[in-house]
Amino acid sequence: LDPNSSVLSNLFPHPFAIPTAYGMIKFASMEAFFRCLCLDNNTIDAIYDLANLSGMDAYRVRHALIDWRDTQQVFWNGSFIERESEEYKELLKNAYDTMFECNPLFRMALKKTKGKILMHTMGETNPKNTLLTPNEYMEMLNRERDRL
């Protein structure tokens, strides 16, 4: 296990801010961003509460949120987005790009993986059951590493 792998995790506290329909929202981690996608008709207070979470705190709260799998839609900026749409893929790219730009530790960990194959063998592989498959996660990390 590479020691850089925990720094590349969505659970790691890499803060980043994204402009939203509610104003600029600062997320404590990528996991917090994913949890906010599971709020429908959300209030700004609920978004801020979730956005401030990182690590396992952000991961564990998933059981208290709506099950987006029922509709295959997430909620972002006041609208529903199909999980397997191009709009969703662009949203992910924007979030990862922003996190990349805001976190030198994330970039440094990615840089240390140059010339290595990134793998993630845990997690659900069917996009109908997860907000980010291992393949999508590796695609995002490789995409960001290519920016270095």
Q: Name the DSSP letter for residue 115.
A: T
pLDDT in tens, the chain (148 residues): 455 568 999 999 999 999 988 899 999 999 999 999 998 766 778 888 999 998 899 999 988 888 999 999 999 988 999 999 999 999 999 999 999 999 999 999 999 999 998 888 888 999 999 999 999 999 999 999 999 9
Q: What is the dihedral of CA 91, 95, 97, 102, to 10 degrees?
A: 160
pLDDT on residue 4:
54
Q: How many CA atoms lie within 13 A of 132 on its CB side?
A: 25
Per the CB < 8 A criterion, the answer to whether 35 and 29 are in contact is no
CA angle 107, 85, 140 (to 5 degrees): 15
Q: pTM to 2 decimals? A: 0.93
Q: Taking Cα atoms as reference points, which of 37, 4, 1, 3 lies closest to residue 107?
A: 4
pLDDT attached to residue 100: 98
For residue 1, what pLDDT is reported?
46
DSSP string, 16-72: EEEEETTEEEEESSHHHHHHHTT-SS--HHHHHHHHT--HHHHHHGGGGS--GGGTT
pLDDT at position 83 is 98
